[in-house]
Amino acid sequence: MRASRIPHPASRFALLITCYSLLIAPLFAGPLEDAENAFNKKNYKDARVAYEKFVAGPEAKKHDKYRHAVNQVIACRLRMGEHADALTFAKSRIEADKDTAWEARSHRRYANLLMAAPHWGMRRAGEFHRGKRGQGEYVRSFRKDRTEAIKHFEAARTIYQATLADKNKLAELPKDQQDKFLPEALECNFDLAGALLRRGENTQS
């Protein structure tokens, strides 16, 4: 009877990597590859769906393309003129990323989007339709948008500082992004200052 052959440690490691590439990596590569292809073809609806599928994956936050995919969902919405939906998605990431190294970025992303969004729209049946024309009352939202953006810039600044002081939490980020976290925290201060300095915008709301 032939003795069973025990694989060399290096062989076992190679086997693990192969299993990962065959079983786990495609879970990310599939939706992300589909999303990139659709986006490059300017098929923003299908791209957005694929990016969202990637972002919703249970291990997505460990992937080095997680941040890119989140930003691309927003980009797709904006390319289709869906400003309100882009803001809704950006805001939803704050709760989704709560208590992780991504939380500060989510606050900052939402705040910057608020400051860049159209600050006007139509109010119909009590609902504000941002960046849309048509029937209803024309309203401006700059003051409300600015107030909310400042709140989230301040939250982002606080969380950036706390994350920088917590090496374990900072280690949740992909290695190539950890060194960029301090510059981001500093940039957030300038974002906040810019929001504080912006006034007017034909006021109202």
Torsion of CA 165, 167, 172, 177, to 10 degrees: 70
- What CA–CA distance (Å, rounded) separates 25 from 37? 18
Q: Would you state the pLDDT for residue 12?
A: 42
Mean of the pLDDT values across residues 190-199?
94
Q: Would you state the pLDDT for residue 31?
A: 80
Q: Would you state the pLDDT for residue 204?
A: 54
Q: What is the mean pLDDT of the chain?
A: 86
Is 35 in contact with 47 (CB distance < 8 Å)? yes
Is 61 in contact with 54 (CB distance < 8 Å)? no
Mean of the pLDDT values across residues 51-80?
94
Look at residue 28 and tell me whether its pLDDT is greater than 70: no
Is 70 in contact with 177 (CB distance < 8 Å)? no
Look at residue 4 and tell me whether its pLDDT is greater than 80: no
- Give the DSSP H or E segment for 12: helix 9-19
Beta strands in the chain (DSSP E): 120-124, 127-130, 137-140
* 93: CB partners within 8 A, 6+ apart: 70, 102, 106, 109, 110
Q: Would you state the pLDDT for residue 202?
A: 60
Report the range of poorest mean pLDDT among 5-19, 34-48, 165-179.
Answer: 5-19
The model carries a pTM of 0.81
Q: Higher confidence at residue 144 or residue 201? A: 144
Look at residue 26 and tell me whether its pLDDT is greater than 70: no
Q: Would you state the pLDDT for residue 77?
A: 97
For residue 11, name the pLDDT band (cuts at 50, 70, 90). very low
CA 183: distance to chain centroid? 18
